[in-house]
Chain A
Amino acid sequence: MSFFTFFRRGSALVARERLQILLAHERAASSHPDLLGILREEILAVIGRHVAFEPDKVLIKMDRGKFVSTLAVDIEIPNDHGASAAKSPHGRLTLGLEHADGVPAMNQSVV
């Protein structure tokens, strides 16, 4: 590496950084093929065992960030308490899942 190169690192530096980040992700993904996808299926199966919901009333959002991936599952559950049906026909179960460094952290809320 010459004096010249030292002061004018070209686009190769950008290439190296982009590759390092990308490959770190892809290697993690291939050792856990579609971890978030599997979690999603299993979470829905567990909820389905206890609560009836319509599959098309399920909103699933997955985001893969640089360091953290998030999974949000929003399920609209029909409310069968006849009396309050008119006022509030549905309940909502929201599950959020953040995944960073292989340690899943969960939070949930029931509305």
Chain B
Amino acid sequence: MAQVVVVTSGKGGVGKTTSTAALGAALAQDGDKVVVIDFDVGLRNLDLVLGAERRVVFDLINVIHGVAKLPQALIRDKRLENLQLLPTSQTRDKDALTEDGVAKVIEELREKFDWIICDSPAGIERGATMAMRYADSAIIVTNPEVSSVRDADRIVGLLDSKTAKAERGERVDKHLLITRYNPSQAARGEMLSIDDMLEILSIPLLGIVPESREVLRASNVGSPVTLNNALSAPARAYFDAARRLKGKEIPVHVPHEGTGIFNKLFGRKAA
């Protein structure tokens, strides 16, 4: 039974696209059939983060408007045969998304995939509401920072009112994914703690992705971090998050400062 998951946040730049790519790849690496859909019409980037930017011919908007058939628009990842991308248009705007069109595309994808992961644009307008419209569950990506947490709370409100599931009187399952977590800042009390965020938002925790240079390295070369450096801290966090998404009970590992002698002596002062 296919699961439709929206990766959303409200605020921009918190790591929605990075997380969509990393989680989609992690699920595909585990053997599941995954399609990731870019809903950021006009500002697509999921293709770039996945290294497929030169292979886009048709897109979601073409499929919705009947210009292309769905299989023509799907791009199979060159490294993971279980992972496919449905890119969006770079030239149209978000009004090109119609509710019926999106519904049809998602219904068709449900036949072929285990996971349909919708990468939402920032904001709370049409692109974002279309991305969450048919979701069974939502991953709310949040940084430990006040504006990001506030916007996450707004998005929770939308998930509870504007989704097809909410309108049927059901609930969209929500998962909190904390990204760009900096253990040393948290230890100094300069960054909202995990407990603070869970208490404020009251959404179950899917994972904590530490701030890491590996994330930038992976996007530089167009590869999800779980593929580019599977042993890195962010990749391990995404693998665990993907397993939790599949219902496995794995204790959440809160990234902490290194325990080496250098950190013991100087860690508190280091930025």
> A-side interface residues toward B, CB under 8 Å?
2, 4-5, 8-13, 15-16, 18-20, 22-23, 26-27, 30
Contacts and interface: CB of A to CB of B under 8 A. Distances in A.
Interface of B: 145-146, 149-150, 153-154, 157, 186-193, 196, 200, 268
Contact of A19 (B150, B154, B188): B150
Contacts of B268: 4
Contact of B200 (A8, A10, A19, A30): A19
A8 B268 CA distance: 12
B189 A13 contact: yes
Contacts of A9: 189
A26 B154 contact: yes
Given A23-B153, A23-B200, A30-B157, A18 B146 contact: yes
A2 B193 CA distance: 13
B190 A10 contact: yes
Given A4-B268, A18-B146, A19-B200, A12 B153 contact: no
B196 to A, nearest CB: 5
Interface of A is mostly: helix
B153 A11 contact: no
13 contacts: A5-B189, A10-B189, A10-B190, A12-B192, A12-B196, A15-B145, A15-B192, A16-B192, A16-B196, A16-B200, A18-B146, A19-B150, A26-B150
Given A19-B149, A22-B150, A23-B153, A12 B200 contact: no
Nearest to A13: B189
B150 A12 contact: no
A5 B146 contact: no
A26 B188 contact: no
Given A16-B192, A19-B146, A2 B187 contact: yes
Nearest to A9: B189
A16 B196 CA distance: 7
Nearest to B200: A19
A11 B192 CA distance: 8
Contact of B190 (A2, A11, A19): A11
Contacts of A13: 189
A34 B189 CA distance: 36
A10 B196 CA distance: 13
Nearest to B188: A10
A18 B147 CA distance: 11
Given A18-B146, A23-B153, A27-B153, A11 B189 contact: yes
A15 B200 CA distance: 11
A12 to B, nearest CB: 5
A10 B191 CA distance: 8
A28 to B, nearest CB: 12
A110 to B, nearest CB: 41
A74 B156 CA distance: 38
Please list the 7 inter-chain residue pairs (A to B) with the smallest Cβ-Cβ separation, ordered nearest first: A10-B189, A10-B190, A9-B189, A16-B196, A12-B189, A15-B146, A30-B157
Contacts of A23: 150, 153, 200
**Most-contacted residue by chain A among B153, B189, B200 (CB, 10 A):** B189
B199 to A, nearest CB: 8
Nearest to B146: A15
B154 A5 contact: no
Given A19-B146, A30-B157, A5 B187 contact: yes
